[in-house]
């Protein structure tokens, strides 16, 4: 890798100077219409913007700032990552959901479970732009993930995969996939699953984009027919994949959620300021104005919960283990209620068909329909309520 420009990382010992260096750099590289560019882009263009932005970040050593140095990261502390998230949000720098799995789930898995060879083969490709997708959910295994049925049969030094995966984000752009498949159909459902690294160009892998509620496609279905995966691509022990997957799912410790809610702050604030400037009609409507204020309260509560989670490392402490579940449920409900209110504030004008990019960018209807991804994906609201009441509050299973 080319040696990075050290103008930001050289300031790491002084957090104030670090922040100013980040601000100066962002002022230079993020165009004023960055958010509009994302809104105007179609899906493919959106991915290109994200790749270009990652290349820009790499120039100053901020491609994977949270990774250990030996794998090309900057080994930045949580405090530094918070600064980056805040400043990215403030300037409207592109979000990089296409790299969600590459930046978090893959290293989260490989650093705990991967062989040296697996790490050496796959981690250096990430800063260079490799996109990974996740093959976990199935048509018959959503909230009950462990009931997955995709089969992996050992045949000499390879596994033969047959089955179907769904809700695989960005799979049409992905080079690799982290895959869960059943290696022992006779074992109890959690005990017969294995974790694999799959090359998406392998014969038998078919990707069909799923057209979503917005009309766009970010997810895909994967049809896997006699796909051969070399045995060396097994991660962790055979039939030990459920435990490996727990590391995968725990790998994103809230920084992305924090960055997203910080972006929501600027979106909400910008909307409010503009309404004040334009003397918007809804500001004079007692009910609508009060509902907006109610949502502002929830925004502030969620932002502060996330910041506390990151700063106090509550995630690690016994008392704090439920906090991510509370934040997830609260954040999902906030996004849905806020965006629904937004469509009412915009009135008929907001019903003009217009796309956006990710839920933090307007227009309102796009934000509203996208809010269902927060209430369903990553543990639906109902699953979060089960986790909170059973694991958190000790209420017995029915």
**Which range binds another protein by CB under 8 A, 250-258, 285-293, 354-362, 369-377?**
285-293
Task: Cis check for the bond before 286: say yes or no (omega within 30 of 0).
Answer: no
Q: Nearest distance from residue 254's CB to another protein, in Å?
A: 14
How many residues bind another protein (CB under 8 A)? The answer is 43
Tokens (6 digits) for 180: 């869960």
Residue by residue, DSSP assigns 108-119 as HHHHHH--HHHH
- Looking at residues 248 to 267 of the shown chain, list those that interact with another protein (rule: CB under 8 A): 265
**Is residue 199 within a helix (H) or strand (E), and if so which, with residue range?**
strand 193-199
- Looking at residues 287 to 306 of the shown chain, list those that interact with another protein (rule: CB under 8 A): 289-290, 292-294, 296-298, 300-305
Distance CA 112, CA 133 (A): 19
Known active-site residue 252 = yes
Q: Nearest distance from residue 322's CB to another protein, in Å?
A: 8
Q: Nearest distance from residue 398's CB to another protein, in Å?
A: 5
**Which range binds another protein by CB under 8 A, 56-64, 190-198, 244-252, 380-388?**
380-388
User: How many CA atoms does the CB half-sphere of 289 hold within 13 Å?
Assistant: 10
Q: Nearest distance from residue 271's CB to another protein, in Å?
A: 12
Distance CA 297, CA 48 (A): 36
- Looking at residues 316 to 355 of the shown chain, list those that interact with another protein (rule: CB under 8 A): 323, 326, 329-330, 333
**Which range binds another protein by CB under 8 A, 119-127, 135-143, 284-292, 372-380?**
284-292
**Which range binds another protein by CB under 8 A, 44-52, 141-149, 167-175, 385-393?**
385-393
In sequence order, the β-bridge partners of residue 158 are 155, 230
Name the 3-class secondary structure at 255. Answer: helix
**Which one is catalytic: 43, 153, 252, 298?**
252
CA distances from 350 to 70, 214, 340, 359 (A): 49, 14, 11, 15
Burial pattern 110-123, b for ≥16 Cβ within 10 A else e, equals bebbbeeebbeebb
Residue numbers at the binding site for another protein (CB under 8 A):
265, 268-269, 272-273, 276, 283, 286, 289-290, 292-294, 296-298, 300-305, 307-308, 323, 326, 329-330, 333, 382, 384-386, 388-390, 392-398
Which positions are annotated as active-site residues?
A: 252
């Amino acid at each position: 890798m080319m040696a990075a420009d050290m103008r930001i990382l050289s300031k790491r010992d002084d957090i104030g100077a670090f922040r100013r260096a980040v601000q100066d750099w962002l002022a230079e590289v993020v165009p004023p219409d960055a958010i509009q560019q994302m809104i105007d882009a179609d899906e493919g263009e959106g991915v290109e913007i994200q790749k270009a932005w990652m290349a820009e970040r790499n120039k100053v050593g901020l491609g994977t700032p949270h990774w250990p140095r030996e794998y090309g990261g900057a080994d930045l502390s949580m405090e530094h990552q918070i600064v980056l998230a805040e400043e990215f949000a403030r300037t409207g720098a592109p979000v990089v959901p296409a790299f969600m799995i590459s930046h978090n789930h893959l290293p989260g898995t490989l650093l705990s479970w991967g062989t040296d060879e697996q790490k050496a083969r796959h981690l250096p490709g990430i800063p260079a732009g490799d996109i990974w997708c996740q093959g976990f959910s199935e048509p018959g295994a959503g909230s009950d993930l462990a009931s997955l049925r995709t089969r992996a049969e050992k045949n000499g030094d390879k596994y033969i995969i047959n089955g179907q995966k769904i809700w695989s984000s960005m799979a049409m752009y992905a080079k690799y996939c982290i895959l869960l498949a059943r290696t022992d159909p006779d074992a109890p459902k959690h005990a017969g699953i294995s974790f694999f690294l799959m090359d998406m160009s392998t014969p038998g892998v078919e990707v069909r984009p799923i057209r979503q509620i917005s009309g766009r496609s970010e997810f895909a279905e994967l049809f896997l027919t006699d796909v051969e995966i070399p045995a060396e691509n097994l991660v962790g022990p055979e039939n030990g994949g459920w435990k490996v997957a727990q590391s995968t799912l725990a790998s994103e410790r809230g920084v992305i959620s924090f960055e997203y809610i910080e972006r929501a702050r600027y979106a909400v604030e910008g909307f409010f300021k503009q309404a004040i400037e334009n003397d918007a009609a809804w500001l004079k409507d007692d009910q609508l104005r009060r509902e907006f204020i109610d949502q502002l309260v929830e925004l502030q509560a969620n932002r502060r919960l996330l910041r506390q989670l990151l700063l106090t490392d509550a995630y690690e402490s016994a008392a704090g283990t439920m906090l991510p579940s509370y934040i997830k449920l609260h954040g999902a409900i906030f996004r849905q209620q806020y965006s629904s209110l937004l469509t009412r504030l915009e009135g008929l004008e907001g019903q003009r068909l217009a796309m956006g990019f990710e839920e933090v960018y307007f227009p309102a209807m796009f934000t509203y329909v996208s809010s269902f991804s927060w209430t369903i994906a990553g543990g639906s609201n109902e699953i979060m309520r089960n986790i909170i009441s059973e694991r958190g509050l000790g209420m017995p299973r029915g």
